[in-house]
Amino acid sequence: MLKIENFIDGEFKSSINEEFLDNYNPATGEKVGEISSSGPRDVEKAVKAAEDAFFGWSSLSMDERINWLEKIGDALEAKKEEIAKVESLDTGKPISLARRVDANRSITNFRFFAQFAKNQEAQIFEMNDATNYVHRKPVGVVGLITPWNLPLYLLTWKIAPALVMGNTIVAKPSELTPLTANLFAKTLQEIDFPKGVFNIVHGLGPSAGQAILEHPNVKAISFTGGTQTGRIVAKIAAPLFKKLSLELGGKNATVILNDADILQAAKGAAKAGFTNSGQVCLCGSRILIDESIADDFTKHLIEEIEAMKVGNPQEEDTDIGSVISPQHLEKVESYIQLALEEGGEILTGGNRPKLDKVNSNGAFLMPTLISGLDIKSRTATEEIFGPVVTLHTFKGDEEAIKMANSTDYGLAGSVWTSDLQRGKEFSKQIDTGIMWVNTWLHRDLRTPFGGVKNSGVGREGGQWSLSFFSEMTNICVKND
């Protein structure tokens, strides 16, 4: 039985109250371990360790910190298969997805920010009688609070830029998925990473998470999670004038225009809708299809969905694993019930699969496609965050734009068309932070990542991450 303890000042130690939370494998329903259930006193210890380590870490040169990021990337690369296995065990996601997406991206996050920081140019603004130098300094001790859907991928997406800019860290992974954060901490120990620079406090949001938000010496909060929790984070952090990055929920539209390549669009829409069982904030959980090609497209889409293998996430050919927990499964199923009440028709899925004994107690749901709902129905406007996608027809681009923009979220979307210029122009009309044309989840880490409305505040990626994790001083030198 795994015992996952806090990682403070380079050592693993249980929370002061010696309390633990159970940790489960959602694909089998089995308890796999326990994690420390920390509170404010543990956060105090972690912040103190981060403060004590701050001078040493921030006084390293940028090149020395870049070297450390490269060493971490190499150490994670050597453990890629272990990361994939542990992430799959903790989340119920297919091992192939955990390897291709979670493990690979966790390694890439360090290598990308090492390279990106290397290429940073000094920001200098010349006047006719003076020169302005923009000097970047670390923020100090930063708090990273992350969710359960892409645990190590999203945590390292914040750790790498925070470290390279000279900050020290107190992190709280989701209490549902602590294992790869623990593996990451062990890796830092193995490479003799400076103690206290990176700390983990495990536990529940309202106790451990909230204590990080409230701690006066935590100067910035980078949060990824639900919109509801994002409101709580903002309410606590804003009056303390902490820097705040909020990456929240989404209800993204996959829009198929009348000149799309129907087969390519059906494959793309199925991938966008059901990757990680729909538990990615970027998932295309609403498909909008031009009525002139709706029948043909829907036929191909259903074929793509029904070809997905649902089952044991430890098997290489599994496409859809379990969702994160029985509680989340019930939440997702309640939306299927709601959809029927709102006049929806289930075109495929909507039921739990019959699986072998090992997974008979797992939180599995067949990928589900529902048509016939009003675009303003609750099912089509609230984030479900599971393998449930709604299908809506439109007549002409104007109506498609209106429908795509008809939720309180604004994170991402995709549009499928054979006319790339049309796709680009269409994308400009959509109120989201990210739009893909004839693809989905194709990522250049230099680009701004984040959303508007209830999808959050701020952007991550490239220069946006380096700016968030640093403070600027403009030094204006009068020329003699």
Least Å distance, CB 328 to ligand TXE, is 7
> In 3D, which of 239, 264, 245 has the Cα closest to residue 254?
264
Report whether 272 contacts 284 (CB < 8 A): yes
Q: How many CA atoms lie within 13 A of 410 on its CB side?
A: 20
Question: Interface with ligand TXE by CB under 6 A: which range of 94-102, 219-227, 335-343, 467-475?
Answer: 219-227
Q: Check binding of 175 to ligand TXE (CB under 6 A).
A: yes
Long-range contacts (CB closer than 8 Å, 24 or more residues apart) made by 61-64: 62/117, 62/120, 62/164, 63/118
Q: Check binding of 157 to ligand TXE (CB under 6 A).
A: no
Nearer to ligand TXE, 394 or 436 (CB): 436
Name which position in 226, 326, 353, 448 contacts ligand TXE (CB under 6 A): 226
Nearer to ligand TXE, 150 or 164 (CB): 150
Question: Interface with ligand TXE by CB under 6 A: which range of 13-21, 27-35, 128-136, 229-237?
Answer: 229-237
Q: Where are the beta strands (DSSP E) in 102-229?
A: 123-126, 130-138, 141-145, 168-172, 198-200, 218-224
Report the site for ligand TXE in 266-285 (rule: CB under 6 A): 281
Least Å distance, CB 288 to ligand TXE, is 21
Query: Among this protein's residues, is 247 annotated catalytic?
Result: yes
Task: Give, as one character, the DSSP assignment of residue 329.
Answer: H
Nearer to ligand TXE, 282 or 400 (CB): 282
Q: Where are the beta strands (DSSP E) in 20-112?
A: 20-25, 30-36
Rounded distance, CA 14 to CA 18, Å? Answer: 6
Question: Interface with ligand TXE by CB under 6 A: which range of 3-11, 23-31, 172-180, 398-406?
Answer: 172-180
Catalytic residue selected from 5, 87, 175, 247: 247
Read off the tokens for 439.
């693809």
Q: Where are the beta strands (DSSP E) in 321-426?
A: 345-348, 368-371, 388-394, 409-410, 413-416
User: Which alpha helices (DSSP H) does 374-468 contain, by range?
Assistant: 397-404, 420-428, 462-468
What HEC string does 421-448 produce? HHHHHHHHCCCCCCCEECCCCCCCCCCC
User: What's the sign of the alpha-carbon dihedral 122, 125, 131, 134?
Assistant: negative
Q: Check binding of 42 to ligand TXE (CB under 6 A).
A: no
Binding pattern for the stretch 86-125 against ligand TXE, x by CB under 6 A and - elsewhere: ----------------------------------------
Least Å distance, CB 153 to ligand TXE, is 10
Query: Among this protein's residues, is 315 annotated catalytic?
Result: no
Least Å distance, CB 362 to ligand TXE, is 18
> In 3D, which of 262, 273, 255, 347 has the Cα closest to residue 297?
262
Name which position in 383, 401, 406, 414 contacts ligand TXE (CB under 6 A): 383
State the residue number with the nearest CB to ligand TXE.
205
Least Å distance, CB 410 to ligand TXE, is 12
Q: What residues act catalytically?
A: 247, 281
Residues that bind ligand TXE (CB under 6 A): 145-149, 172, 174-175, 205-206, 209-210, 213, 224-226, 229, 232-233, 247-249, 281, 383, 385
